[in-house]
């Protein structure tokens, strides 16, 4: 039986609180073989399904639970239009705003009449009823509708609490007005922050019913708008791509939608235009501004043969580019997918919040009923009066209204949305929320040298031939084999040989930490480190190799059929930002360590320039893995930064793996965090941002738990007016989202 699974993403409509998300998630997970995660903040479900389970079945399950769902739009589709302020139209948000405005206009006079006795004219209570009725019926309709739908499916949510609370307050007021003495002309009563023991039949709660509805509508409106702002960074990232492209086909140039561009197409990029998709320059030279993708502010020079990334901007010359990736395969789409995956994940703390939210509403209803029963019992023992009934009713309604599972549900996902979105803007890609905790614990940061601390742009500085051979022969043999490798040393050798004919290689083999080999013109060519060369070096060659290594050069020996042909010296330079990055690591409480497969001389030379004291050189990939394990066995929590295939095992073993985006796909796949640019300082920014995001999540959860733990007992004790409870409940969600939005102001330390 096939065990392969397929990932399906669904947009969920109709969720009003975290309890809704938990309910949908439970329903989806009841399907055999399905693993679902529903995110209230993003209003999206990520579902892993086995063979035989399709999108339609998932949508039917969601609809059966009382909600609606639709497949997430194809990321390659053209984005919908935006308004004059750069925002996409949102019919639901507009309708909610209209409902809020009307309810506020009607509620303000009701609240004013109830709070200020001087305004209470002869029949003021009947005017209050006239104004409050549309608010409770029409304004609160979304709450009533959601509560009814959930009731039909045997579920309770925050809407259930709100609907019961507002209808109870409104129903009590109708009873007091029509059957009690509250409708008596000239009746007056003041507003109290604490419930009072007044004559129940003369007391109305229209201001509570209307005020709570308006406050909750305001809370939901600002919560929804804030959630939209929290996702702006991801939407902006996905909108970076060009919408049209000038393609050359059959000798003619024409403009086509980006969705029609195919791999292999040649397209023209004029100065000021965005590069339509990932590709290779086949004509022209220019400077490309990649700041919106990598965070690098300085444009990079590109010419024929250089790779370019879609959504970057051509600043000067005209370029002709051959497309190498389109749609979901582009670097931009993969960045967006990584950010989306991180936002859809759940931190451990959120799983606890989800479990609490799942039973929250039934427990609150039980507490409300118990509150009513308790105070009625107290009143019965003391001699029941109308004022005691009013007090008991007020306390019970306040319990219903003050409780807020939404703050719990929003605590983690909103912070993740904003944090990962801000990271994407800065060229920092986070794989999942579980990474956040790792950034807090790490105390040692292990750095690869080539491409991480140094530029990785190696150049051949010297070619030494053995007796009986010449430099050109050495270079051609090495370039033929290295042409199949993606190591920085290989790139330097191939570049040095671009003006000489290089034969094809057969039976190419790359051995991590050792070197490369292959058959070239019938000879077995091996390119490897000096200490792993298959044959002994003659005295002159060994002396040159030793001298080059002492001055910081990296040496590879080229052998043919087991005998050395010569050696090639390549040199790298330290990145201008590396020294500042090391200072930042120490400020963050991290001890830097250089771990490289390069020789001792080159490693010490680079470490001295950037201020690293602890250096381990000449290690294989297995050796790097062993060093990481040894550090962990000593009680350290280790972060590893690398960019090559030989770093993949160490990146995977480390408590926190960070890959430089300039590196290989293997290294990026093995890491927890990816830094899109090659600037080592961004690693420090990534750790700071992850720690800040984790701190925000913990702060949100502390507030959400603390609010409910403190507020519900206060309401049950009769110490909160229902309208004040409604305002506090609405503000609790807005506070959590607003606290998360502060992450948008995170600034890089460079």
Q: pLDDT tens digits, residue range 490-520? A: 888 998 998 899 999 898 888 766 789 999 9
* Residue 614 bears catalytic tag: no
Q: DSSP states of 262-306 as a string?
A: -TT-EEEE-TTPBP-SSEEEEE--EEEE-HHHH---SPEEE-TT-
Residue 335: both structure tokens together: 């960045």
Question: In the CATH hierarchy, which top-level class contains the domain 6-71?
Answer: alpha beta
Helix axes 578-587, 681-716, angle to 10 degrees: 30
Q: Classify domain 262-325 by CATH number.
A: 2.70.150.10
Q: Classify domain 456-573 by CATH number.
A: 3.40.1110.10
Q: Cβ distance 585 to 480 under 8 Å?
A: no
Rounded Cα gap, residues 257 and 278, in angstroms: 16
Average pLDDT, 10 consecutive residues per value, the chain (750 residues): 70 81 88 87 85 89 89 49 46 88 94 84 92 95 88 79 84 86 79 56 77 81 70 62 85 86 91 89 87 62 87 86 88 71 61 69 88 87 66 83 73 81 82 78 90 81 87 93 82 89 88 82 90 78 81 84 89 87 95 87 87 89 87 93 73 84 54 79 92 90 85 86 71 83 86
Catalytic choice (448, 598, 647, 655) = 448
Rounded Cα gap, residues 390 and 402, in angstroms: 18
Rounded Cα gap, residues 675 and 653, in angstroms: 18
- How much is the pTM? 0.66
- The pLDDT of residue 387 is 57
Q: List the beta strands (DSSP E) in 610-688.
A: 614-616, 638-642, 656-660, 673-675
Rounded Cα gap, residues 612 and 593, in angstroms: 6
Q: Which residues pair with 322 in a beta bridge?
A: 266, 280
Q: Classify domain 433-453+575-671 by CATH number.
A: 3.40.50.1000
Residue 182: both structure tokens together: 């509250």
- The pLDDT of residue 664 is 46
User: Taking the domains of the chain in order of start, what are their residue ranges?
Assistant: 6-71, 262-325, 433-453+575-671, 456-573
- The pLDDT of residue 87 is 45
Residue with tokens 């004291």: 613
Q: Cβ distance 489 to 460 under 8 Å?
A: no
Say if strands 563-571 and 554-560 run parallel, antiparallel, or are unpaired. antiparallel
Residue 127 CA to its chain's centroid (Å):
50
Rounded Cα gap, residues 295 and 313, in angstroms: 13
Give the model confidence (pLDDT) of 51-72 as tens digits.
888 899 999 999 988 888 998 8
């Amino acid at each position: 039986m096939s065990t392969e699974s397929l990932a399906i993403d669904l947009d969920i409509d109709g969720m009003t609180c975290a309890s809704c998300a938990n309910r949908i998630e439970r329903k989806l997970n009841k399907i055999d073989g399905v693993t679902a995660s529903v995110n209230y903040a993003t209003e999206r479900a990520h579902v892993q399904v086995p063979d035989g389970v399709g999108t339609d079945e998932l949508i039917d399950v969601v609809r059966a639970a009382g909600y609606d769902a639709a497949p997430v739009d194809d990321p390659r589709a053209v984005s919908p239009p935006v308004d004059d302020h750069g925002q996409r139209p949102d019919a639901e948000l507009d309708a909610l705003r209209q409902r809020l405005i009307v309810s506020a206009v009607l509620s303000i006079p009701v609240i004013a009449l109830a709070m200020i006795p001087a305004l209470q004219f002869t029949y003021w209570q009947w005017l209050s009823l006239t104004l409050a009725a549309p608010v409770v019926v029409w304004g609160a309709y979304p709450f009533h509708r959601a509560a009814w739908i959930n009731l039909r499916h045997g579920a309770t949510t925050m809407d259930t609490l709100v609907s019961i609370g507002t209808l109870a307050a409104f129903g009590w007021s109708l009873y007091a007005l029509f059957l009690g003495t509250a409708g008596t002309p000239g009746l007056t009563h003041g507003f109290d922050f604490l419930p009072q023991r007044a004559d129940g039949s003369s007391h109305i709660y229209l201001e509570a019913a209307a005020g709570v509805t308006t406050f909750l509508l305001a809370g939901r409106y600002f919560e929804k708008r804030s959630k939209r702002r929290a996702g702006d960074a991801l939407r902006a990232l996905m909108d970076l791509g060009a919408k049209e492209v000038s393609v050359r086909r059959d000798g003619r140039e024409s403009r086509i939608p980006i969705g029609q561009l195919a791999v292999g197409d040649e397209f023209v990029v004029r100065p000021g235009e965005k590069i339509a998709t990932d590709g290779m320059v086949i004509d022209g030279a220019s400077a490309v501004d990649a700041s919106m993708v990598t965070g690098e502010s300085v444009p990079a020079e590109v010419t024929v043969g250089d790779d370019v990334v879609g959504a970057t901007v051509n600043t000067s010359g005209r370029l002709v580019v051959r497309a190498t990736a389109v749609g979901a395969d582009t670097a931009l789409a993969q960045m967006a997918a990584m950010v989306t995956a991180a936002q859809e994940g759940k931190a451990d703390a959120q799983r606890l919040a989800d479990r609490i939210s799942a039973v929250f509403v039934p427990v609150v209803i039980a507490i409300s009923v118990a509150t009513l029963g308790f105070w009625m019992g107290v009143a019965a023992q003391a001699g029941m009066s109308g004022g005691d009934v009013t007090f008991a009713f007020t306390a019970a309604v306040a319990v219903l209204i003050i409780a807020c599972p939404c703050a719990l549900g929003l605590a983690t996902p909103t912070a993740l949305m904003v944090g990962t979105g801000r990271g994407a803007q800065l060229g920092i890609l986070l794989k999942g929320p579980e990474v956040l905790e790792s950034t807090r614990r790490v105390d040692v940061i292990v750095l690869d040298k080539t491409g991480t601390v140094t530029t990785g742009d190696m150049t051949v500085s010297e070619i030494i031939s053995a007796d009986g051979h010449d430099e050109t022969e050495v270079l051609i043999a090495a370039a033929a084999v290295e042409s199949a490798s993606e190591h920085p040393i290989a790139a330097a050798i191939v570049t040095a040989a671009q003006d000489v004919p290089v034969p094809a290689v057969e039976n190419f083999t790359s051995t991590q930490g050792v070197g490369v080999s292959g058959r070239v013109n019938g000879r077995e060519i091996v390119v490897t480190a000096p200490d792993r060369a298959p044959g002994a070096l003659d005295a002159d060659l060994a002396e040159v190799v030793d001298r080059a290594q002492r001055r910081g050069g990296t040496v590879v020996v080229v052998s043919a059929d087991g005998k050395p042909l010569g050696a090639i010296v390549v040199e790298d330079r330290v990145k201008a930002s590396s020294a500042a990055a090391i200072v930042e690591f120490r400020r963050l409480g991290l001890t830097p360590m250089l771990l490289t497969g390069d020789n001792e001389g080159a490693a010490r030379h680079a470490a001295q320039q950037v201020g690293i004291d602890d250096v381990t050189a000449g290690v294989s990939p297995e050796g790097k893995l062993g060093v990481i394990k040894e550090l962990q066995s000593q009680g350290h929590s280790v972060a590893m930064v690398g960019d090559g295939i030989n770093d993949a095992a160490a990146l995977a073993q480390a408590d926190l793996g960070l890959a430089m985006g300039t590196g290989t796909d293997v290294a990026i796949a093995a890491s927890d965090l990816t830094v899109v640019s090659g600037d080592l300082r961004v690693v420090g920014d990534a750790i700071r941002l992850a720690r800040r995001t984790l701190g925000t999540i913990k702060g949100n959860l502390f507030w959400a738990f603390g609010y409910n733990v403190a507020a519900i007992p206060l309401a049950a004790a009769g110490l909160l007016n229902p309208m004040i409870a409604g305002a506090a409940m609405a503000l609790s969600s807005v506070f959590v989202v607003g606290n998360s939005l502060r992450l948008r102001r995170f600034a890089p330390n460079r």
